[in-house]
Structure 1
């Protein structure tokens, strides 16, 4: 489906995380509302007026950072815009994924479209055209502390500098623009700084990660419920009376999700007195998943504020004709970075419980099923080694859960003597959620292969049955050792795409 066939997202009012992801990931068409255009044009006219009055304003007619005491003459301001982009495009290494670059461009439009930055409307129209025409700047991903150099690689494309990708081919930016029917533009005063400033890259990349984390956390409830079911766990630990005396909303909602998954399960009904008490990886699902989800929803609240804010520096206050450019530090990424560091800890906790549940599925002494869920073990290893993969992935996640925001390495000759490091929080959040999806996929793979060992008279719940039927076309039942990589990838893709969540919600209604 092309972006023109999708319903467009109109900028100018509050944007949701779902709308944000639809543009970055699905290519949804971007439009500007009249309000958006009016805000931008008013801010630019105000900046032009103040420049004519000869006011000295940081980033408009001065140097940047530690060079802010250097006044730039009017006839040098255009050269200043070009220079800041060329000198700041210093990130290195492998390129960011296309959806991350698109997300950053969208965040730049959101940031500068608030009407406090003094940029020209035509400049923002160019970013909109890059999004809508499928031109993706080539952006090396390593080396940002929160802003500037990643964004500079993107902004260079407006000048016909750097590289860009169109129709799957990386080429000089000038050629990519020409192929899309666009011409390079010349930036005016303040625009070079505005295009690269702010929390746009941490917010953009982090928003994609957070979207996937929330979806994976809901999928974790589904997968945990299926493991509880197939391991003959007791649903007594999910009783709402138990939840009510410790009334954390996400804990209570998680227990409700799992009860609804299993309310028509003959297996769960038969197993309610199977044990007096289950192991914590089964019994404490509402408590741990709930705590992690609270962290994710706290982060979501912060992100929805940041996505609809102005994080530029300086800002131009449009209602004070006597005012100038107010320099502060709205470009600091601490809000985003700290939330993402916390989110990484939360989803790593979900992963560590998933690995333990999987261990119970494949360990014959804990499950009562054949070793590693295959007949003829010894000759066959069955699902022994995917748990090794979980262990390796989980070790990575634990390392990545060390907070980036507790670090600070001064930059800019100590003008920026404290640095938030929110970009690295966002970058590692992307990696953490990918690994969570794999860990959950391996647990679900084991649960899928455990169900046939349940006596046929005991049927699973309708939600579990729907998941099993969704997996079946991609993953054949294992009677002897087989190549497992495609199966893990297939289930991981079903989790990432939201298919697992969708089939359950189609069966029992929306999960909390």
Structure 2
């Protein structure tokens, strides 16, 4: 199986290859050397009797409480037990794997003083596909989720095996892995930083990067069904407002519809312009892409950063421990709050295009895309589903990072709340996939009113043929739920993109 070598920069695609597609991870020589060097520096500082936050002191507002040298190991264990307090449903396996990979990335930068043996054990968890119990609710950006995972490394906590959550000790034994005893700072390093926040953000952004193309594809198909005017996407029009992302969207739509006989090349008769949900696709989708691409750059930078606290850093060849706050999740949180706006943009326009497909006054075909409206409801109610999803999404789009609830007796008087921004982005992406799936479903139903499907572009015809192998009854009421789920899966699995790109080449 192909592998990912840690110790060099990872991009978003590399990250997902590990967490979703189970590529194995290995450490480069440089990774191992810098981790070992950082541990040696920490041990020298401990021997020198230097007082260091979280190493020989308490945590948070208890940082003025000194810990004796014979208690520092117990301190790390106590830390994990007391901090593993997140609640609710556990992260799914992919999300848990993302958290483990981010811990390896964070601590492997060589500024954390952790032993390489601890990181080897985490690597073994990933490569053996071990799934630790990590409840997902109740984090302000770090600590609690990571503590649940870290407990499993010392033989406590829970791991899923054969469909059940079981004591970690027994599962480690099954995989012939030994629990590890944590030394100074190691427990703190395992739970510090933006690891879970960045992990969930990475998954959401990867899916959203693919959703950008799917949104263009589905928008193009709706424009075609509604005899949209292609001159609205003209390259010269795009060039006089030179936003790169806007031009990319327009290029995609023209590429997808290049051989369509349903879309209009230019205005015809009294049809001089389309409604904004068609005419403005490049502008809105382009704006959404702009936010997403900025977020991807931010998250990729975070993937390759040290977000620990405190850090061990050399100044003029001399190691120092500095307590600062690279563990702050503002960069990730604000990026993910911004992409909530982008996700809403795709979804709200999709629902409006879908409404036009369902309305005889704008579509020119029977209401709700059924031949006998009244006897049959057709696709009346899926648009209600879109409306309900949009309402839910608007609540989720409220920015998490504008909140501030101080913690730790005021020691953490400002709290970034980045974790919740990342967590809700996963739900927003999934809901947007369903909203777009319903719009695509309407286009497939629309086909029964096209006298010759060869009038469609080759790309949209291929989509229609693929989906109509799944959907049989478009002329009467049937169990629509499964259709929506099947089409949503075409979107989330990237099959929809592959169908189109097999004809168009790679979309922008």
Question: What is the aligned partner in structure 2 of residue 3 from structure 1?
Answer: none
Are 1:265 and 2:260 counterparts?
yes
Which whole-Å deviations, capped at 9, do the CAs of 1:323-364 have from their partners, x for residues lacking one? 421111100000000010000111111100000000000111
Q: Any residues of structure 2 matched to 1:176-255 within 5 Å, and which?
A: 176-255=171-250
Q: Any residues of structure 2 matched to 1:388-403 within 5 Å, and which?
A: 388-403=384-399
* Structure 2 unaligned spans of 5+: none
Q: In structure 2, which of residues 451, 462, 467 is the aligned counterpart of residue 466 of structure 1?
A: 462
The secondary structure found in structure 2 opposite 1:267 is coil
Q: Any residues of structure 2 matched to 1:52-201 within 5 Å, and which?
A: 52-201=47-196
The secondary structure found in structure 1 opposite 2:255 is helix
Are 1:41 and 2:36 counterparts?
yes
Are 1:414 and 2:433 counterparts?
no
TM-score (norm 2): 0.98
CA shift, 1:477, in A, is: 4.0
Tell me how far apart the structure 1 counterparts of residues 162 and 97 of structure 2 sit (CA, whole Å). 14
Which whole-Å deviations, capped at 9, do the CAs of 1:244-280 have from their partners, x for residues lacking one? 1111010011000000011111112577526211000
Q: In structure 2, which of residues 366, 370, 373 is the aligned counterpart of residue 374 of structure 1?
A: 370
Tell me how far apart the structure 2 counterparts of residues 104 and 48 of structure 1 sit (CA, whole Å). 27
Tell me how far apart the structure 2 counterparts of residues 334 and 43 of structure 1 sit (CA, whole Å). 27
TM-score (norm 1): 0.97
Tell me how far apart the structure 2 counterparts of residues 474 and 494 of structure 1 sit (CA, whole Å). 11
Tell me how far apart the structure 1 counterparts of residues 453 and 46 of structure 2 sit (CA, whole Å). 81
Q: In structure 1, which of residues 279, 300, 311 is the aligned counterpart of residue 296 of structure 2?
A: 300
Tell me how far apart the structure 2 counterparts of residues 75 and 60 of structure 1 sit (CA, whole Å). 12
CA shift, 1:37, in A, is: 0.5
CA shift, 1:73, in A, is: 1.3
The secondary structure found in structure 2 opposite 1:268 is coil
Q: Any residues of structure 2 matched to 1:234-383 within 5 Å, and which?
A: 234-269=229-264, 273=268, 275-318=271-314, 320-383=316-379
Equivalent residues of 1:202, 1:336 under 8 A apart = yes
- Runs of 4+ aligned structure 1 residues displaced above 6 Å come to none
Tell me how far apart the structure 1 counterparts of residues 16 and 465 of structure 2 sit (CA, whole Å). 28
Tell me how far apart the structure 1 counterparts of residues 283 and 345 of structure 2 sit (CA, whole Å). 11
The secondary structure found in structure 1 opposite 2:401 is coil
Equivalent residues of 2:229, 2:265 under 8 A apart = no
Are 1:455 and 2:437 counterparts?
no
Tell me how far apart the structure 1 counterparts of residues 14 and 256 of structure 2 sit (CA, whole Å). 29
* Structure 1 unaligned spans of 5+: 1-5
Equivalent residues of 1:449, 1:477 under 8 A apart = no
Equivalent residues of 1:381, 1:481 under 8 A apart = yes
Which whole-Å deviations, capped at 9, do the CAs of 1:78-133 have from their partners, x for residues lacking one? 10010000000000111111111110110000000000000000000111111111
The secondary structure found in structure 2 opposite 1:71 is coil
Which whole-Å deviations, capped at 9, do the CAs of 1:273-306 have from their partners, x for residues lacking one? 2621100000000000000010000000111100
Tell me how far apart the structure 2 counterparts of residues 333 and 120 of structure 1 sit (CA, whole Å). 25
Question: What is the aligned partner in structure 2 of residue 478 from structure 1?
Answer: 474
Equivalent residues of 2:72, 2:184 under 8 A apart = yes
Q: Which stretch has the larger CA shift, 368-377 or 285-294?
A: 368-377
